[in-house]
Amino acid sequence: MSAHRALAPAKLNLSLHVRRMDSSGLHPVRGLTLSIGRNDILDMAPAGSDQLEVHGADLPTGEENLVWKAVSALRSGQRDRPSVRFELWKRIPVAAGLAGGSSDAAAALLLYGSLTGRDQAHLAGPAAEIGADVSFCLRGGLRWIGGYGEQLGDPLDRDGDFVLVVAVPPFMLETARVYSAWDRIGEPAGRAVSGTAIPPGIRRYGPLVNDLYPAATSIEPDLDDWRAELESRWDRPVLMSGSGPSLYAFFPDQAEADEGLEMVPEEARDAFVALPQARGAHLVEDG
């Protein structure tokens, strides 16, 4: 019997080292990536024709949506192509460097795979075809990534816990534009965060660096103002996830994180507290 609901967690880039564009036209990366407890919810049910309804965000519902790209990848070469209706509740901010669309695609792979008798072991190939982040979002946890994001290291240990506060400034950054800016301004390295600024449980994976930060601030100078303001209010280093503009910091416990959330400027597009998660997209009992 197939499952009907999947959770799709957001992804944070704790570290992102970018290399020069290669002959594929893409930039190889090496990064430290973490699933966090901010989830989109995707429901699936049999239907007479394919349908997608999205709540909480103004997103396309046609074939350009990554949910349908996931379904198309599974239908390729198959005779049995049952029609389904998806309902997606967006809780991960869009265009924020948190891989919400890729995580939705991973959730769709799990749901449609369960309907057509394919387990997670058969989903790795389709995941890599859809987009660079989908492979990670399917497996999740804390891992090093490589290649263009599709190469996954083994799950890493996290000794002890920490809590994150994520703040999304009131503007969007297009990933392709940020990478182009990185090329244009000379392929700079990001600033390093190390030592006691990193929670003890992941300190051995430091320093944490995001090479795309200088490129993102060259496009949107207000991003650096937001980082500086949050660092002043939170009294700790603030990092950017992916190509931005989401900014985040580490807190030792829920109480301090809740206080940090209250300090986020009200102009933020979104802000939330999240715990690290040991897995990516996964099926759940609905209802």
Tokens of 28: 């190889």
Q: Cβ contacts of residue 173 below 8 Å, gap of 6+? A: 95, 97, 216, 219, 220, 223, 243, 244, 245
Q: 133: helix, coil or strand?
A: coil
β pairing state of 84-89 and 270-274 = unpaired
Instruction: Indicate the SS3 state at residue 90.
Output: coil
**∠ Cα 39 213 97 (to 5°):** 20
Q: How far from each other are the two terminal CA atoms of the chain, in whole angstroms? A: 16
Task: Just list the catalytic residues.
Answer: 11, 133
CA pair distance 198, 142, nearest whole angstrom: 15
Bridge-based pairing of strands 84-89 and 29-46 is antiparallel
Find the DSSP H helices in 116-265.
124-130, 134-139, 175-184, 213-219, 222-234, 254-262
